[in-house]
Amino acid sequence: MGSEAAEEKTPYELLGGDDGVRKLTADFYGLMDTLPDAAPIRAMHKGDLSEMTDKLGTFLIGWLGGPQRYQERFGRVIIPLAHKPFPIGPSERDQWLMCMQGAIDNTSLNDSMKARLMDSFGRMAEMCRTKD
C-alpha cells in the first residue's frame, strides 16, 4: 500500500505543498538571474523578479495539483497567449528549460517524477514559441 499511495500523490504534494513549489519557483528564477547562458531570457523580464516569481509559483501550485488560486488572484491565463509578445524561439525555450531542469534537479523528487515534469514543461515551453 505504501508505494501505491506514494504514486498517487500529486507533484504538488511530493514537492511539499505550497512551500515546496515556491522554493522550486525561487530556484528557477535564481538560476535565470545568475546563469550566463540564461541572460537572453532574463533580459525579457523586469529587473525585479519578485512579481513573476509569485505569479509563476501561484500558477504552478495549481498546475502541479494543488489549490487553484491563480485565476482568483491574477485572472484567467492561456500560457501561449501570455508569451505571444516575446521573441521566443528554440534557443529561448531551451534556456527556460535549462533553468527549470536545474530547479527540478534541486528537489527531492525521484528521477521518474523529475523526468515526467520536465516532459510536461518541455511541451508547455514548446507551445510558447513565437518564432523559429
**Nine cell digits for residue 2:** 505504501
Name the residue among 122, 86, 91 with its Cα closest to residue 104: 122
Sketch the domain layout of the chain as residue ranges. 14-127
pLDDT tens track, the chain, 132 positions: 455 555 589 999 999 999 999 999 999 999 999 999 999 999 999 999 999 999 999 999 999 999 999 999 999 999 999 999 999 999 999 999 999 999 999 999 999 999 999 999 999 999 999 999
Q: Domain 14-127 carries which CATH code? A: 1.10.490.10
Comparing CA positions, the residue from 99, 87, 96, 102 lying closest to residue 124 is 96
Look up the pTM and report it: 0.92
